[in-house]
Chains A and B, each alone.
Chain A
Amino acid sequence: MISIVFLVAAAIAVIFAVLTVVPRNPTTNLLSLVVMFFAMAAIFAILGMDFLAAIQIIVYSGAILVLFLFVIMLLNIRRVEAFGSGRAIQALLGTLVAAGIGGIVLVIAGLLRPVAGGVLPGVVNTGTAIPIGRALLSSHLFAFEFITLLLVAAIVGAFYLGKREEE
């Protein structure tokens, strides 16, 4: 039964990813991406990673995409290109590159042994907040602190870049 739920979530993710990529007005692309992120959070939850599903929605859908929406609204970004207005050779090469990259990963996935992983009875469930919190503050402490620094740098950088020049 879980497989059916996974297949539905995967189908939603693929359909809305395609809708994000197809040239339409930016707000439609963004809302399709929000739905796709929801499907991704659902897939994380199916795989037993509850904490990451919640973080995905809070950070990605609820913060990063709101930032995108603000920029789209404040800069009044309209539709730049119509569907099918690019050069044909560009579309062909782009499709070949994408198919190539995707195809390589698909071949590798096919060669791996399909083990149905998951949480068996008796094994500690590693998807909740407590094990992740412990890991972040013990074995990955340096990366955790460095990410803090990175986020501060990003805030300062974004602020400086967005400042209006003094006339």
Chain B
Amino acid sequence: MWVDLAVIGVKLVFGLVVLLTTVPIMVWVERRGSALIQDRLGPNRVGPFGLFQPVIDVVKLLTKEIITPAGVKPLLYILAPVIAIVVALSTFIAIPIGKDTGLEVFGHAVHGLIVAPDLNIGLLYIFAISSLAVYSVLLAGWSSDNKYALLGGIRASAQAISYELAMTISIVGVLMSAGSLHLQQIVDAQGGVWMGVLPHWNIFPQFIGAITFIVAVFAETNRLPFDLPEADSELVAGYHTEYSSIRFAAFYMSEYLHMTVASALITVLFLGGWNLPWIDMPFDGWPGALLSMAVFATKVAMLLWFFVWVRWTLPRFRYDQLMALGWKVMIPLAVLNFLWVGVAMALGYM
């Protein structure tokens, strides 16, 4: 039993380290990528190609003065960024980052490259934990004793709970075609070829569901075009207006962590996880595990770039347009996808 716990501990530490390392990388990608899209240079002074810019940013954020406004409610004010980070970091334990090639370490089986291999309700657990992210936004907005923060908080949480519905309904098609809530099995069901031509990734048969899910995930992570809650030109800084220094760094980090987890989730559910496009994973043991991790990392990296790309290309939605889109367009489309998958499964196409 202790060896099992040690294996889980090592996987957990590895996952946390990788997840926390993507944050500075994403900060750099965001700033250089936005510069590329906007036809300017971006940070290029601090290191080669500005690679040390995130480090300098962190130092700046940590050495700023921590200003706590006078009228805040102390417990809630401190709790909000804590909830944001904890929620963002807790979801990755159910996401498989590579193939379960029967690896063994000192004679004990490493049950697949997933921190919690026995969690039968994997996907439901992820939705449960990410539905708690609403609390951090709401509590931050309300405890800040600032009308812009309150407006931003209310808008952000209304947006989050509206798009949560579209998000959950759009993955029901994936669950139906895979027959399980366990993400490892959802990825396993996406190997090989579909209809002889396309890879069997869920994005091809269920493209409506995929598009709905990706849009809903953009809304859940408060990324443009859905970032009205933290719109700089409209709400000062939205729900994190009154947070300074390390507390703001916590919110900033939690946004990138949510983005990374969301990209990993899109990869697992719709882009075939660690499956190569048409062929099955050719190797077993350690080479197979490493290759599958590399494939997974490539797909997640492409999706993270997609997040940055969309942010600097599209304008922002107005609040009423956003809510109308969520309730009147996304939910019917998701239900349509659900019907389509049911019909296709009954007719034998999936």
Contact = CB atoms under 8 A, between A and B. Distances in A.
- Are A and B co-members of a single complex? yes
Contacts of A69: 135, 138
A5 B154 CA distance: 37
A57 B121 contact: no
A70 B157 contact: yes
Contacts of B142: 27, 73
A57 B127 CA distance: 9
B135 A54 contact: no
Interface string B281-314: 0000000000000000000000000000000000
Contacts of B128: 54, 57-58, 62
A129 interface: yes
Interface string B74-85: 011001000000
Given A27-B76, A73-B154, A129-B181, A63 B131 contact: yes
B120 A128 contact: yes
Interface residues on B, range: 20 to 34
A21 B120 CA distance: 35
A91 to B, nearest CB: 27
A73 B138 CA distance: 9
A28 interface: yes
Contacts of B127: 54, 58
Contacts of B79: 31
Nearest to A58: B128
A156 B150 CA distance: 28
Contacts of A39: none
A51 interface: yes
Majority secondary structure, B binding face: helix
A66 B161 contact: yes
Contacts of A63: 131, 161
B134 interface: yes
A51 B132 contact: no
A66 to B, nearest CB: 5
Given A66-B138, A73-B138, A27 B73 contact: yes
Interface in B83-137: 119-121, 124-125, 127-129, 131-132, 134-135
B124 A54 contact: yes
Interface in B290-343: none
Interface string A68-88: 011001100000000000000
B157 A128 contact: no
A34 interface: yes
A50 B119 CA distance: 8
A50 B131 contact: no
A53 B79 CA distance: 24
B317 to A, nearest CB: 21
B199 to A, nearest CB: 27
B100 to A, nearest CB: 19
A62 B134 contact: yes
Nearest to B182: A128
Given A73-B142, A73-B154, A129-B181, A34 B124 contact: no
A20 interface: no
A155 to B, nearest CB: 12
A57 B134 CA distance: 13
Nearest to B153: A73
A64 to B, nearest CB: 11
Contacts of A128: 120-121, 181
Contacts of B120: 50, 128-129
B281 to A, nearest CB: 27
B180 to A, nearest CB: 8
A66 B339 CA distance: 30
Contact of A129 (B124, B134, B135, B138): B124
A50 B154 contact: no
Contacts of B124: 51, 54-55, 58, 129
Contacts of B73: 27
Contacts of B134: 62, 66
Interface of A: 27-28, 31, 34, 50-51, 53-55, 57-58, 61-63, 66, 69-70, 73-74, 128-129
Given A50-B120, A66-B161, A128-B120, 16 more contacts: A27-B73, A28-B75, A34-B135, A51-B121, A57-B131, A58-B131, A61-B132, A66-B135, A69-B138, A70-B138, A70-B154, A74-B154, A128-B121, A129-B120, A129-B124, A129-B181
The 4 closest A-B pairs by CB, nearest first: A62-B131, A54-B124, A57-B128, A50-B121
30 contacts: A27-B142, A31-B76, A31-B79, A34-B135, A50-B119, A50-B120, A51-B124, A53-B121, A54-B121, A54-B125, A57-B128, A57-B129, A57-B132, A58-B124, A58-B127, A61-B132, A62-B128, A62-B131, A62-B134, A63-B131, A63-B161, A66-B157, A70-B138, A70-B154, A70-B157, A73-B154, A74-B154, A128-B181, A129-B121, A129-B181
